[in-house]
């Protein structure tokens, strides 16, 4: 168990390091290339910010796959499966379309067609859904056309869900990183605990996806110095979908129990988790996507028309700060993803359900306290942005108060000076008038 974990950790770290180190040069390139669109009505940032962050993320993906191919255990994934090459092919295509969109603003229908083509490229190379566990029916083998249509639909929905949620600094990268972490734990457990090697590619994809997001987040946390753009959001959405497709379509649920009869709920729930887990990890983005489509269609607009009705926009409207809105979205994404993960481990435990309910109540309280500012404990201040540090926050508040006081004093002095000047002018005018009268 230890050696594969170390290899996954090494792959994650290399991916994160390459992404992090390349994001700075990519930012300069984006500025030179003019990939800095003007502020739009739906945007929440105030200054033009360069895009094309997906360039660094794509090269991080390539570095992660290259390193994994040269490791002892992970090299077997490349020998026994064509899925890594299928992922790289689809990712390269969707990344190129994203880069062009970040620079030239491609039409939404063209992007949708490109997403379907990228999914088709992966299907042709073997990354497709082969069967599905259906309640009361069991495992159902899909025909080639059924598997292709379902795979393309899942890829398109996931890509657009991630793209829709990419509206605040650090939101999309953080939410996808949380989802990838939960999915990695689930896939690795299936591979190691049940000895099912077909789950190894999904574990690899999830680890690389975590590295891509973690490497990009330091540059994207509010206030962001660079955006991932469609080249990044569509890329991480495709990698997330590839992880879900790999474990959902390639792992036979019957192999989890050796073909034994599944008559109790405790036995049946883990079988259907491969079908439910991909839905839970994108629950928040998918809900935002569905609400956006319904809202725009109801208004008679195109489903691809942009607006300010997304979940993160609503959080800002009720009084939450930018950073706090992102943290709330992180919280609920982690609650859903890791709650489903814990339930898959032990579906009979009532403590898991009670824990999820308790944490949900805490989340609702946080939603109702938009003016509360979170502060990190003193031991963790070195690891969080300055605005969450008590001492620096207090010093900044004191400095702001002193600056405001100095400004008020200067304004009062200026007002007195103007008043005295006006009085002097009026007095001189009155003396002159009396002199002329005499």
Q: What are phi and psi of 278, to 5 degrees?
A: -60, -30
Task: Look at the chain and count its residues.
Answer: 438
Q: Which residue from 407, 254, 263, 240 is spatially nearest to 333, judged by alpha carbons?
A: 240
Which pLDDT value is given to residue 190?
A: 80
Residue 244 has which token pair?
Answer: 């879900």
Roughly what angle, to the nearest 10 degrees, separates helices 265-281 and 229-250?
A: 160
Q: For the purposes of burial, counting CB atoms within 10 Å of the CB of 370, is it exposed (0-12), middle (13-18) or buried (19 or more)?
A: middle
- Asked if residue 431 has pLDDT above 50, the reply is no
Alpha helix (H) residue ranges in 251-349: 265-281, 283-298, 311-317, 322-345
Is residue 12 within 8 Å of 20, Cβ to Cβ?
A: no
Which pLDDT value is given to residue 266?
A: 40
Distance CA 397, CA 389 (A): 12
Taking CA atoms, 397 is separated from 228, 389, 403, 411, in Å, by: 32, 12, 10, 21
Residue 141, beta-bridge partner list: 131
Q: What are phi and psi of 318, to 5 degrees?
A: -85, 5
Confidence of residue 182 (pLDDT cuts 50, 70, 90): confident
Roughly what angle, to the nearest 10 degrees, separates helices 322-345 and 350-367?
A: 170
Q: For the purposes of burial, counting CB atoms within 10 Å of the CB of 312, is it exposed (0-12), middle (13-18) or buried (19 or more)?
A: buried
- Asked if residue 211 has pLDDT above 70, the reply is yes
Alpha helix (H) residue ranges in 346-382: 350-367
- Cβ contacts of 70 within 8 Å, gap of 6 or more: none
In the chain, what are the domain boundaries? 2-350, 387-437
Which pLDDT value is given to residue 354?
A: 79
Distance CA 252, CA 248 (A): 8
Residue 123 has which token pair?
Answer: 């299907």
Is residue 350 within 8 Å of 294, Cβ to Cβ?
A: no
Degrees to nearest 5, angle at CA 90 with 188 and 144: 80
Which pLDDT value is given to residue 163?
A: 84
Residue 91 has which token pair?
Answer: 């990712």
SS (H, E, C) 151-195: HHHHHHHHHHHHHHHCCCCCHHHHHHHHHHHHHHHHHHHHHHHHC
Q: What average pLDDT does the structure give for the chain?
A: 77
Q: Which residue from 307, 53, 62, 355 is spatially nearest to 164, judged by alpha carbons?
A: 307
Residue 304 has which token pair?
Answer: 């691809």
List the helix and strand counts (H, then E) for the chain: 15, 2
Taking CA atoms, 176 is separated from 144, 240, 379, in Å, by: 29, 8, 27
Half-sphere exposure of 207 (CA within 13 A, CB side): 27
Q: Give 46-97 pLDDT, tens digit per residue.
A: 677 888 999 999 999 999 999 999 998 899 899 888 999 999 999 999 999 9
Q: Give 251-287 pLDDT, tens digit per residue.
A: 665 555 444 434 433 444 444 555 566 566 566 666 7
Distance CA 334, CA 174 (A): 10
Which residue, chain included where needed, has tokens 């990354």? 127
Q: Give 112-139 pLDDT, tens digit per residue.
A: 999 999 999 999 998 988 877 666 666 6
- Asked if residue 110 has pLDDT above 80, the reply is yes
Q: Give 225-242 pLDDT, tens digit per residue.
A: 899 989 999 999 999 999
Which pLDDT value is given to residue 417?
A: 60
- Asked if residue 389 has pLDDT above 70, the reply is no
- Asked if residue 17 has pLDDT above 50, the reply is yes
Residue 314 has which token pair?
Answer: 């609503």
Which pLDDT value is given to residue 276?
A: 63
Q: Give 408-427 pLDDT, tens digit per residue.
A: 665 666 665 655 554 554 55
Confidence of residue 372 (pLDDT cuts 50, 70, 90): low
Distance CA 11, CA 194 (A): 23
Q: Is the dihedral of CA 166, 224, 210, 344 positive or negative?
A: negative
- Range name among 12-16, 172-176, 418-422 with the lowest pLDDT average: 418-422
């Amino acid at each position: 168990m230890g050696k594969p974990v170390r290899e996954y950790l090494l792959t994650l770290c290399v991916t994160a390091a390459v992404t992090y180190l390349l994001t700075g040069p990519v930012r300069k390139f984006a500025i030179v290339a003019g990939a800095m669109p003007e502020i739009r009505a739906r945007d929440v940032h105030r200054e033009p910010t360069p895009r094309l962050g997906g360039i660094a993320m794509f090269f991080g993906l390539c570095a992660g796959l290259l390193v994994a191919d040269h490791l002892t255990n992970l090299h077997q994934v490349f020998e026994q499966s064509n899925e890594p090459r299928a992922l790289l092919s689809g990712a390269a295509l969707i990344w190129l379309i994203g880069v062009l969109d970040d620079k030239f603003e491609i039409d939404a229908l063209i992007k949708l067609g490109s997403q379907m083509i990228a999914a088709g490229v992966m299907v042709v190379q073997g990354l497709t859904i082969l069967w599905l566990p259906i309640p009361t029916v069991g495992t159902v083998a899909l025909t080639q056309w059924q598997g292709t249509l379902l795979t393309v639909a899942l890829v398109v929905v996931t890509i657009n869900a991630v793209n829709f949620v990419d509206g605040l600094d650090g939101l999309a990268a953080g939410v996808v990183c949380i989802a990838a972490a939960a999915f990695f734990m689930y896939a690795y457990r299936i591979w190691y605990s049940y000895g099912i090697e077909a789950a190894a590619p999904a574990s690899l994809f999830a680890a690389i996806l975590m590295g891509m997001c973690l490497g990009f987040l330091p540059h994207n946390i509010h206030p962001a110095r660079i955006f991932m753009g469609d080249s990044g959001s569509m890329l991480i959405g495709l990698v997330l979908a590839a992880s879900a497709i790999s474990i959902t379509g390639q792992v036979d649920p019957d192999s989890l129990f050796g073909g034994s009869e599944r008559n109790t709920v405790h036995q049946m729930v883990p079988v259907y988790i491969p079908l439910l887990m991909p839905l839970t990890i994108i629950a928040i983005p998918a809900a935002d996507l569905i609400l956006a489509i319904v809202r725009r269609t109801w208004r008679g607009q195109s489903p691809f028309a942009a607006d300010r009705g997304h979940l993160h926009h609503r959080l800002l409207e009720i009084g939450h700060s930018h950073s706090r809105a992102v943290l709330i979205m992180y919280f609920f994404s982690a609650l859903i993803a890791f709650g489903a993960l814990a339930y898959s481990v032990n579906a009979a435990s009532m403590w898991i359900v009670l824990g999820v309910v308790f944490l949900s109540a805490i989340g609702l309280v946080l939603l109702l306290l938009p003016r509360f500012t979170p502060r990190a404990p003193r031991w963790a201040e070195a690891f969080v942005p300055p605005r969450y540090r008590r001492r620096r926050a207090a010093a900044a508040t004191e400095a702001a108060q002193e600056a405001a006081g100095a400004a008020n004093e200067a304004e009062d002095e200026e007002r007195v000076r103007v008043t005295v000047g006006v009085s002097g002018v009026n007095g001189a005018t009155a003396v002159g008038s009396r002199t002329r009268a005499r």
